[in-house]
Structure formats: C-alpha cells, structure tokens
Amino acid sequence: AGWAPAVAAGASIALRPKFSASQFIPDVRRFGATYANYVGKPLSYILATPEQQDDADNPLRVAYGNEGAPRDLSR
C-alpha cells in the first residue's frame, strides 16, 4: 500500500477523507508533506487547478504513482 514506506520509516501519514485537487497544495503545506503517493488520475486533476503565484512554496519533493499522462510528466 502507499502508506507502507512511511510506516516502515517511522514517518507521519496524512490522509484526507476525500481527495480534493484544489486543497492538495494547501494540505501539503499544512501537514508539511515531503512525499505524496497517488493512484489513478490525481496528478492530472491537481495540474488542472488554476495556477497560484505561491504554488512552488511548499515542502513537497517527491510524488509517486501511476497513470501520469506524458504531458503531465513533462511539466
């Protein structure tokens, strides 16, 4: 499962009851997330949200998952 590496490393995990593309970056900031794991299309949904001036101001360093469209991966 996507949470197994965090458990093995003794890291913290933040899970939302329901995925929200518009709240992804605010959640990353709020929880201090440095790693995100996704299954399916969330990457496309996140990248489809309106760009904000401070999007790059967050601690996220790695996102790992499947279903990344070639145009999304090249961003």
**pLDDT score of 15:** 87
E runs forming strands in the chain = 35-38, 62-65
pLDDT of amino acid 41 = 86
pLDDT in tens, 14-29: 888 999 999 999 999 9
pLDDT tens string 30-61: 999 999 988 888 988 999 999 999 999 999 99
| pTM higher than 0.85 | no
Mean pLDDT over 5-9 rounds to 84
User: Is 67 in contact with 43 (CB distance < 8 Å)?
Assistant: yes
Count of beta carbons in the 10 Å neighbourhood of residue 2: 14
